[in-house]
């Protein structure tokens, strides 16, 4: 089957429109969602309030916003292909890093992989952005807010990744899950399902 690029143009244009709109509103919503996330973490550690659903909603929303921001077309006329690629990759890496943080805080499997991939990419991209910015000082695409965003997400992710599960449970960042196996009795002997 031969793909017709003409059929893909309207789809790409719609993604670009969505990405540009998200890039505009991200500045305002990012701060609000970050403050709500901090509040939800404080509630989780300081009270018995079940803030897990709020943390999931907040971090999922942030991850989706960063993912869709990658489709935005930057308006910096001094930026070339490399700068556009680094900007898009940074948005995708923010999304992956935040999903890893979400998985770690909810004690879901594979959080360490997501955090390592997302946050390591963010650190590398922050260094690349600083190098490019030092060579092309007139670039507007790599502003201080974007670099700070990358470093904050990477720092939170790597901090959660390096903390032991016991420490996270102690500070009530995650809940200890006790798995019950119906096939094992108190004397830890195997019981068949028929018994």
What pLDDT was estimated at residue 65? 95
Give 136-186 pLDDT, tens digit per residue: 888 888 888 999 999 999 999 999 999 999 999 998 888 876 656 566 555
**Residue (of 177, 172, 176) closest to 41 by Cα position:** 172
Query: Residues in the chain with pLDDT < 50?
Result: 1-5, 7-8, 190-192, 195
In a domain, 195, yes or no: no
Q: How many C-beta neighbours within 10 Å does residue 139 have?
A: 18
**Residue (of 90, 93, 67) closest to 79 by Cα position:** 90
Give the three-class secondary structure for 110: coil
What pLDDT was estimated at residue 148? 94
In a domain, 5, yes or no: no
The rounded distance, in Å, linking the Cα atoms of 136 and 80 is 11
Q: What is the torsional sign of CA 5, 10, 11, 12?
A: positive
What pLDDT was estimated at residue 49? 84
In a domain, 179, yes or no: no
In a domain, 38, yes or no: yes
Q: Which two tokens stand for residue 8?
A: 């893909």
Domain count, the chain: 1
In a domain, 73, yes or no: yes
pTM greater than 0.85: no
In a domain, 3, yes or no: no
Residue 114: domain span: 11-170
What pLDDT was estimated at residue 187? 52
List, in sequence order, every residue forming a beta bridge with 190; answer none if it has no partner.
184
């Amino acid at each position: 089957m031969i793909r017709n690029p003409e059929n893909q143009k309207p789809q790409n244009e719609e993604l670009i429109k969505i990405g540009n709109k998200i890039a505009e509103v991200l500045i305002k919503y990012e701060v609000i969602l970050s403050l709500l996330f901090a509040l939800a973490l404080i509630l989780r550690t300081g009270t018995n309030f079940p803030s897990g659903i709020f943390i999931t909603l907040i971090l999922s929303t942030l991850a989706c916003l960063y993912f869709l921001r990658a489709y935005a077309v930057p308006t910096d006329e001094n930026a070339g292909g490399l700068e556009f690629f680094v900007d898009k990759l940074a948005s995708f890496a923010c999304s992956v890093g935040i999903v890893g943080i979400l998985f770690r805080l909810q004690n879901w499997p594979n959080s360490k992989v997501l955090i390592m991939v997302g946050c390591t990419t963010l650190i590398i991209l922050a260094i690349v952005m600083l190098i490019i910015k030092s060579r092309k000082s007139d670039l507007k695409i790599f502003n201080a807010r974007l670099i700070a965003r990358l470093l904050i997400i990477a720092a939170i992710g790597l901090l959660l990744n390096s903390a032991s599960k016991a420490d996270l449970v102690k500070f009530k960042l995650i809940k200890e899950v006790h798995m019950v196996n119906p096939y094992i009795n108190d004397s830890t002997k195997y019981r068949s399902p028929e018994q």
